[in-house]
Chains A and B, each alone.
Chain A
Amino acid sequence: DAGVIQSPRHEVTEMGQEVTLRCKPISGHDYLFWYRQTMMRGLELLIYFNNNVPIDDSGMPEDRFSAKMPNASFSTLKIQPSEPRDSAVYFCASSLERDRGKAFFGQGTRLTVV
């Protein structure tokens, strides 16, 4: 398996624009997580899904953020409108129900909002 695949790797956008980050989890994994990493706040869990269903979105900062998982092999994290303070590295991770806590992370998307 190629691991968790995220796209794009880098994104630079202007304030106010819509940004969509994409993630393909490892095939067969039951859980998918979206994390944000910044210098100030470290790694923060934004939302996670179990079998495509959002379970905990308490980490989503505000209504500008939304995440979907239309099927087991694809998820998106959307920011609309984007703001400079959204600049961060966004990681997607997936894991198996039977191997809890062992999350496999993607390479991340480095988002810069100018």
Chain B
Amino acid sequence: AQSVSQHNHHVILSEAASLELGCNYSYGGTVNLFWYVQYPGQHLQLLLKYFSGDPLVKGIKGFEAEFIKSKFSFNLRKPSVQWSDTAEYFCAVNAPFGNEKLTFGTGTRLTIIP
């Protein structure tokens, strides 16, 4: 079974700081990888996803993530955060080819200080 680890439970940054949120997964086969965001009081939304190809994935709102297979990692990055990026971020994984079950990490709460 797959599992996802997000080691940073709460990250606090000032505006314009660079962001990197860690995500490691555990699964022996090919995986699809996702980052979801949950803004305060709102539902989860897909930020970006990786299925295959270029391991550097661009998402919405200036976010990107890099899939490093040898490290089983899919870290989320943004060069310069804004106050509006305050949210909870979830990394998720599923095994392709018939399995739709998304396994989520426990999430990282990001607080941006103006």
Contact = CB atoms under 8 A, between A and B. Distances in A.
Interface of A: 4, 31, 33, 35, 41-45, 48, 50, 55-56, 91, 93, 95, 100-103, 105-108
A93 B90 CA distance: 15
A43 B45 contact: no
29 contacts: A4-B43, A33-B100, A42-B107, A43-B44, A43-B104, A43-B107, A44-B104, A45-B103, A48-B100, A48-B101, A55-B100, A56-B101, A91-B44, A100-B51, A100-B96, A101-B32, A101-B34, A101-B49, A101-B51, A101-B92, A101-B94, A101-B102, A102-B46, A102-B49, A103-B102, A105-B45, A107-B42, A107-B43, A108-B43
Nearest to B6: A42
Given A100-B96, A106-B43, 20 more contacts: A4-B43, A31-B100, A33-B100, A41-B106, A42-B104, A42-B105, A43-B44, A45-B101, A45-B104, A55-B100, A91-B43, A93-B44, A95-B100, A100-B32, A100-B51, A100-B100, A101-B32, A101-B94, A101-B100, A102-B49
Chain A binding site: helix, strand, loop or mixed by DSSP? strand
Interface of B: 32, 34, 42-46, 49, 51, 90, 92, 94, 96, 100-107
Contacts of A42: 90, 104-107
A95 to B, nearest CB: 7
Contacts of B43: 4, 91, 105-108
A31 B107 CA distance: 23
